[in-house]
Amino acid sequence: RFDCTNVFVRKNVRTRSLELTHRSVKVSIIIALGVMITLGNIAVLLVISSSVAGWSRNSRYFLLSLTAADSAFGLLVMPLNLCVSLVKDYTEGPDALCHVVAFCNATVYSTCMYTLASISLERYIAVFYPLKYSSILTRKRTLLLISFSWCFPPFLLLPILFPDGIIEVHFSTASLVCNPSYSTNVGYSLSLTGFIFFPCSIIMSYANLRVWCAAKRQRLKLRKYDCARRNRHDVASRVLVPVMAAYYTCWTPCMAAMIYNAVSGSSVPEWAEFVVVWLPTSNGFLNCIFYFWINQSFRRKFRLILQRLILALCPKLANILGCCSSSKAQFISGILENNSVHERSSSVSSTCTLLTLSFSSSQETDIRFF
């Protein structure tokens, strides 16, 4: 006699085992991504907390804001969601903890997008209005813009925080994240993308496209007067194109899935949901590469700081590794600090796209990208 009960039990056991395997893989990916983001932004913070040649004061403020927002992915978003996935029973309904975690997730995501848009706006002003840069983007206005990037998202996303509010929140076993149920309020879901994603995307696209076109025109002009520079790398394309490509690759699938969920009322497949939900956090690691490590002054300053740390913590290891002596490190530090005197005060911070005007020995005008 065919025993349907045993077949049903074995099927449930296999399903449960497969779910646990998928969950272990997802947790491993999240932890690895969190470690990469945290270590990368700690290294960035060590450098931009001190002066870097070619980076103005306002640029450092924006970079500190971006580093803080990216660090929140690894230090706040990932630990909170992993803790909820470990302590929460999947059969339980929504609770206050899930609302708090969902509010933190949405706030960090939105702050990161606003900060990226602010950096693009600063770059645009520095390139096209270099003589008016100090009067347009004063220290007070810079701090106000950064404050807006951090204070407006919590105000806009405040309804998510209340358990009995208009937005329902549930824990997703597919993405291991406390997600707002945007399908319960389509108008509010669309307003989030209308106030956050689309405005930031428009600002970034317009500013970076204008800067890229200006760099392209200048590069063509330089080829007519200086044949020796024809083989020089196209730094504008090497920086701006990856920055915008990484932004749209990381954020567009998440926003598209949110709109699809709100309009259709159904969710995407399990692994597709996991990828689109956690893909924006990888932008926090890519920012370290495109905004910082591609900059030569940043890499030089990081090597100097690393040598100082090794000399201070373990002098014997420094001798074994062949690190420079303390006197040589001080000499390099003096060179880096003196180089900052010759840079324009309107230089763009980490994006390596500020066009600075300098005169060569032949009295030819040359626009360079840092």
Alpha helices by DSSP H, the chain: 4-48, 57-72, 78-87, 96-128, 133-136, 139-156, 186-192, 198-225, 235-264, 270-288, 296-313, 315-321, 326-339
Query: Between vectors from CA 154 to CA 152 and to CA 155, what angle results, nearest 5°?
Result: 65
Mean pLDDT of the chain: 75
What confidence score (pLDDT) does residue 54 get?
65
Answer whether residue 128 shows pLDDT above 70: yes
User: Which value, to the nearest 10 degrees, does the dihedral of the CA atoms of residues 225, 226, 227, 232 take?
Assistant: -130
User: What was the pLDDT predicted at 350?
Assistant: 36
pLDDT > 70: percent of the chain: 71
In this predicted structure, which of 62-76, 111-125, 207-221, 234-248 has the lowest mean pLDDT? 234-248
pLDDT of residue 347: 41
pLDDT attached to residue 223: 73
Q: How distant, in Å, are the alpha carbons of 166, 167, 177 from that of 186?
A: 11, 10, 20
Model confidence band, residue 147 (pLDDT cutoffs 50, 70, 90)? very high
pLDDT digits (tens, 9 = 90+) for 13-68: 566 677 778 888 888 999 999 999 998 888 888 887 776 666 778 888 898 899 99
Q: How confident is the model at residue 254 (pLDDT cuts 50, 70, 90)?
A: confident
Highest mean pLDDT among 128-132, 183-187, 285-289: 128-132
What would the pLDDT profile of 66-95 be if each residue is shown by its tens digit? 999 999 998 999 999 888 887 765 555 557
* Lowest-pLDDT range of 35-49, 129-143, 259-273, 319-333: 319-333
- C-alpha to C-alpha distances, 335 to 156, 308, 339, 359, nearest whole angstrom: 46, 15, 6, 21
CB 199 within 8 A of CB 110: no
Cα separation values, 176 from 33, 34, 193, 273, 282, Å: 14, 14, 22, 10, 16
Cβ-based burial of 54 (10 A; exposed 0-12, middle 13-18, buried ≥19): buried
Tell me the β-bridge partners of 365. Answer: 359
Q: Is the pLDDT assigned to residue 221 strictly greater than 90?
A: no
Burial readout 138-169 (b: 16 or more C-beta within 10 A, e: otherwise): eeeebeebbeebbeebbebbeebbeeeeebbb
The answer to which of 240-254, 258-272, 328-342 has the lowest mean pLDDT is 328-342
pLDDT > 90 fraction of the chain, expressed in percent and rounded: 19
* pLDDT-derived band at 213, boundaries 50, 70, 90: confident
Average confidence (pLDDT) over 267-288 = 87
**Nearest in space to 64 (alpha carbons), one of 49, 77, 42, 43:** 49
CATH number at residue 219: 1.20.1070.10
* Residue 270 pLDDT greater than 50, yes or no: yes
Comparing 64-78, 176-190, 195-209, the range with the smallest average pLDDT is 176-190
Q: How many domains does the chain have?
A: 1
Give the residue numbers spanning the domain of 295: 4-369
